[in-house]
Amino acid sequence: MSYVKMATVLGTADPSPSPAQSALCLSTAGEPLTAEQLEIYLEATDGPYIHGQFKSQISIASGRRGGKTEVIVPAHVRWALHNRQMFNVSPTRPACILIVSNTIRHQSRKTYQPLRAAIMRDPDLAPFVSRDLAGDESSLEFETWGISIRCVPNNPRAVRGYTAFMLIYEECDFWIDSDGQGNFDAVSEAAEPALATFDRALTLKISSPAGPGSPLHKDFERRHQDPDLLFWQLGSEKMNPDGLSKFRLAAARLRGEAYYSREYGAQFVEGGDALFPWALIEPCIDKESTETPPARLSDREFQIVFDAPKVVLAIDMGGRVDACAFAVAVGQRLVRADEREIPSAALLKVEQWKPQAGSPVDTPAFLTRAFQVGRSYGATVVVSDRVDSTFVESYANRFGMEYRKQTTVGGAADVRERYYMLKEMLQQKSVCLINDSVFLEQLRRLRDFLHKGVTTSKHDDVAVSGIQAIVETISGPALVKPWHYTMTVGPSVPRIFGN
């Protein structure tokens, strides 16, 4: 088989690629660039361009409607299929092109349709398609070549078990799991071993950029240190100058420079709405304490507010390569004689464990520490999300605590509901927060992306465990108290800690 140039592939592409899209595709294949294409390349990558150089990692930050799904992904897949001998794939050594998309947004369907159309229009590829399956996990198979194209959701379990010579992460900056949390690290850790068979295996990350700390932003920060990485960053107007409405672009600019820079300028800008502004958090902080010792729960002043407290231990495992955290909170929910509910809670302690020197957190040591601390506060309930839930439940049984796995129904909507329950308590000043800098900083960074869930640009493990603990303390049946009792207690829990 002779080598098929990317330029040949682009020549039959529909829609026809723009100069910027052509420059990107040609540069990933190491093919010659025109003067115009070279100028675009230098702007998008900071250069220099080395003709003929192969790079196995390609990260593309492109604005909305930049041609990612319609042009760039189909071109790279067609080029790889035409040059399958370059990757050493054969019927006796089968492998796949694995495309991972955000299942929450049904992105795999959006990706599969233009990709399938491009392959079916290619007279040298279409006759060899032996199986065509559309759906949430779409696939095309070329049995005589030993190749298949698999579109799978961004779930660590869904990406395991494949042998791949090309791995495509689609819209990876906005991946979330069913708990509403970013999960790129967990998915990529499970997917990368699929490439282990092939020396020239290729990884392509392509997405609109999210904020600082996102997967693409991490590649952006190391773009000059890793010679095997091609990082491309270019806005929508240059990537797809003829495919955008000037009126819509002008309307987008009116929404603010930050919005336009993020959505169309391919810039790493914090987006979404802050869930917990400092003005909301600050009045509810016990500024004298970074944690509340267990003995404080026996104080008369404390027992006036919490005469029948529920103490909860919450655990956020975070995945094998991420930090882990636990939190302890106390609270109760009262019902006054006028049937008005008064939730009251206090965060008592948070603790974060980070991976060291590339090694994951020692899970048994972390869980032992978490449960010992929880028991010292008198915790009777432990909650966690679904990460390592079986492991957490076994420790709960060992320590004699009731285990509750959160977010088993409702997914991201349940996560958002918990966060808004805490927000309401902060507004009512019926919750007290400790003055832990990590927890408070993570809490302030949590942002709500409409239709994409609650997320943050960096770690959120401490904030998540704290929120889980607080909200769980006020779940379940409410306590009915006389009118005069609840009137004297009131909703000002922070007052008992000196505020």
Domain CATH code at residue 474: 3.30.420.240
pLDDT in tens, 435-458: 998 899 888 878 765 444 455 545
The residues pairing with 448 across neighbouring beta strands, listed in sequence order, are: 273, 454
Q: State the pLDDT at residue 453.
A: 47
Report which DSSP code applies to 495.
G
Q: What average pLDDT does this structure show over 415-420? A: 76
Residues 28 and 124 in one domain: yes
Nearest Cα neighbor of 322 from 442, 426, 194 is 442
Cα-Cα-Cα-Cα torsion 373, 379, 381, 385, nearest 10 degrees, comes to -30
Residue 362 lies in a domain: yes
Higher pLDDT, 73 or 275: 73
Averaged pLDDT of the chain: 83
CATH number of the domain within which 187 lies: 3.40.50.300
Residues 308 and 245 in one domain: no
Higher pLDDT, 112 or 71: 71
Higher pLDDT, 189 or 387: 189
Q: What average pLDDT does this structure show over 122-142? A: 87
Count: domains in the chain = 2
Residues 83 and 17 in one domain: yes
Residue 268 lies in a domain: no
Q: What average pLDDT does this structure show over 38-44? A: 93
Residues 202 and 280 in one domain: no
Nearest Cα neighbor of 184 from 197, 166, 196, 171 is 171
Q: What average pLDDT does this structure show over 482-486? A: 41
Residue where a domain terminates, one of 227, 244, 263: 263
342 pLDDT band, cuts 50/70/90, is low
Q: For the chain, what percentages of helix, strand and coil (3-state, to nearest 5) are there?
A: 40, 20, 35
Q: State the pLDDT at residue 406.
A: 67
Q: How far apart are CA 166 and CA 164, in angstroms?
A: 6
Residue 412, judged by CB atoms within 10 A of its CB (0-12, 13-18, 19+), counts as: buried
Residues 256 and 333 in one domain: no
Q: How far apart are CA 487 and CA 491, in angstroms?
A: 9
Residue 50 has pLDDT above 70, yes or no: yes
Q: State the pLDDT at residue 294.
A: 93
Residues in the chain: 499
Residue where a domain terminates, one of 242, 263, 284: 263
Q: State the pLDDT at residue 335.
A: 57
Residues 189 and 322 in one domain: no
Residue 170 lies in a domain: yes
Q: What average pLDDT does this structure show over 48-66? A: 89
Residue where a domain terminates, one of 263, 287, 320: 263
Q: State the pLDDT at residue 339.
A: 55
- Percentage with pLDDT > 90 across the chain: 44
How is the beta sheet containing 139-142 ordered, strand by strand? 131-133, 139-142, 147-153, 95-101, 164-170, 202-207, 57-62, 229-234
Higher pLDDT, 262 or 427: 427
Residues 118 and 255 in one domain: yes
Higher pLDDT, 367 or 111: 367
Residue 334 has pLDDT above 80, yes or no: no
Residue 61 lies in a domain: yes
Q: How far apart are CA 148 and CA 128, in angstroms?
A: 11
Higher pLDDT, 163 or 254: 163
487 pLDDT band, cuts 50/70/90, is very low
Residues 194 and 284 in one domain: no
pLDDT in tens, 367-417: 999 999 999 999 999 998 776 788 899 999 999 999 987 653 333 445 667
Residue 221 lies in a domain: yes
Residues 181 and 200 in one domain: yes
Q: State the pLDDT at residue 279.
A: 86
Whether the bond between 32 and the residue before it is cis, its omega within 30 degrees of 0, is no
Q: State the pLDDT at residue 481.
A: 52
Residue 76 has pLDDT above 50, yes or no: yes
Nearest Cα neighbor of 172 from 153, 195, 157, 190 is 153
Residues 353 and 248 in one domain: no
Residue whose pair of structure tokens reads 């959006």 in the numeric block:
110
Residue 488 has pLDDT above 80, yes or no: no
Range of the domain at 195: 6-263
Residues 167 and 255 in one domain: yes
Residues 187 and 140 in one domain: yes
Residue 252 lies in a domain: yes
CB 479 within 8 A of CB 333: yes
